[in-house]
Structure 1
């Protein structure tokens, strides 16, 4: 472990042997731990600067921690669904079964675009049944993304099974998605990227996908995605938080922490 000067502060540098596309150190920026402390949640923020080939994190012990992906899995799930032909395009509709799931946006026929937007569990459960666990397992193995374990007591193995992903794997995967470097048709990669758009203004474009694993303890919350600033530079981020007793702030804290970390990193103002 060595000392470096990054973003104007003294930080530690630790080489992590992982599947990141470019070999390089993970740099600790202690300032990035402050937003977690302010919100009162344990967790980790990871940022991949594509131009500088630098990965920065708030916690070197957590960057490689295997975690349930929850609904961040819908990103790769959508890609596999399009590749397999289960869904022809993002407008592919699945009929609602009429079961009231307590959330109005879910209680209707949905297409893939809406299912990602509303994070509709039933839509992706049916999608997984149609693709098949084995096909999904094979696709994940080929990608080298997650531990590819599609077993579980229910078809929603990304919520209550043994599927795991690390924050580092999240940013690696996102970097490949946004550069068209995955083994999926380019039009499908673009379609899925477009589904993740959350915010666009004169200074930056912000993409992201949330996740919340509520069936485990501690519960895991995610926000993962990409940021493009007005000069064209790209950054990929993964934020995760955890709590055995998440309060009312748990959901919004994913966004608050991410935005604060991006500001501390000098990416947005």
Structure 2
């Protein structure tokens, strides 16, 4: 059995939600086609994508989920932070928006937040305030400029990324991350570097609204992880879990997308666990 096939077999045995058959190497990262394709049917399963910057290859766990559009949930906070900074809706990472006491939010959200702390703690209400400041026309315009998934914000200004009309595939997430970390998005370069810094995680963990989650600690010396979680339910009723980001170590840089789609019993940490396992088995962490 080849090394790639053995890796895939171990992965399949270890993931109850995955329907993976092996490891496929794609010679180059294909550009996302426009107009975007609609899903043929609601897919359930998992997808992990790994791209080593400068190598021109994508390591892909083959599953139809990789081409299945679902809600981006809180991974949209990456482009939303760029929009907030680029439009001036928020003056910088330290701008505080006071918590008004309303809403049934996690405890970490029930306080005043800055843009930086709202990104790290995945504070939904903060970004809803940002959306109100940006407005419908500018939100829609940035989605088109970013070529972000189906670029559809019509379901509602403060909810379109939360199980609403905005949808994106794991492949499209990777395409967006590549352009983001290459500094090739149509926003001020300072906005991109600011958001890159805000995405950095504490050593050995990934942080979201529910707190810190172990992430294959300890990391090798000199390793940094920048990441954003996402969790929600899409329009088809599927539970969606995300972790997207970048790992840097020993002069190398890796972009990754982890996505798990299942039913209401899908663990909240499913995409985090999938990413940690996959990065470890690929020698990245």
Per the normalisation by structure 1, the TM-score is 0.82
2:231 aligned with 1:212, yes or no?
A: yes
The Cα shift of 1:203 comes to 4.5
Deviates more, 1:168-177 or 1:213-222: 213-222
Give, in whole Å, the separation in 1 of the partners of 2:50 and 2:64: 15
Deviation per CA, 1:49-84: give whole Å up to 9, x if none: 212100111124332221110000000000001011
1:195-254 Cα offsets, whole Å, 9 max, x none, are 111145514211110000146521100000011111x1111110011221225xx12222
**Is 1:266 matched with 2:266?**
no
Relative distance call for 1:43 and 1:33 in structure 2 (3 A) is: farther
| Aligned equivalent of 2:65 | 62
Partner of 1:31: 7
Any conservation in 2 of the 1:81–1:87 contact (CA below 8 Å)? yes
Q: CA deviation at 1:114?
A: 1.0
Larger strand percent? 1
Q: Which of 71, 75, 79 is 2:78 aligned to?
A: 75
Q: Pick from 243, 254, 259: which aligns with 1:223?
A: 243
Q: Is the 8 A contact 1:32 1:261 kept in 2?
A: no
Contact kept, 8 Å, 1:71 with 1:210, in 2: the verdict is: yes
1:53 aligns with 2:56: yes
Give the Cα–Cα distance (whole angstroms) in 1 for the partners of residues 280 and 103 of structure 2: 40
What does residue range 1-269 of structure 1 map to in structure 2 within 5 Å?
Answer: 8-9=3-4, 31-32=7-8, 34-35=10-11, 37-41=13-17, 42-99=45-102, 101-153=104-156, 155-200=158-203, 202-214=221-233, 216=235, 217-230=237-250, 232-247=251-266, 250-268=267-285
8 Å Cα contact 1:152/1:160 also seen in 2: no
Residues 89 and 130 in structure 2, CA contact (< 8 A), matched pair in contact too: yes
Counterparts of 1:179 and 1:50, CA distance in 2: 9
- Consecutive unaligned residues in structure 1, runs of 5 or more: 11-29
Q: Which residue of 2 aligns with 1:13?
A: none
Q: Distance in 1 between matches of 2:255 and 2:168?
A: 16
Distance (Å, rounded) in 2 between the aligned partners of 1:123 and 1:169: 25
Instruction: Return the alpha-carbon distance in structure 2 between the equivalents of residues 48 and 34 of structure 1.
Output: 21
The worse-fitting range, judged by mean Cα deviation, of 82-91 and 195-204 is 195-204
Query: Residue in 1 aligned with 2:32?
Result: none
Higher mean alpha-carbon deviation, 66-75 vs 165-174, is at 165-174
- 1:130 deviates by 1.2
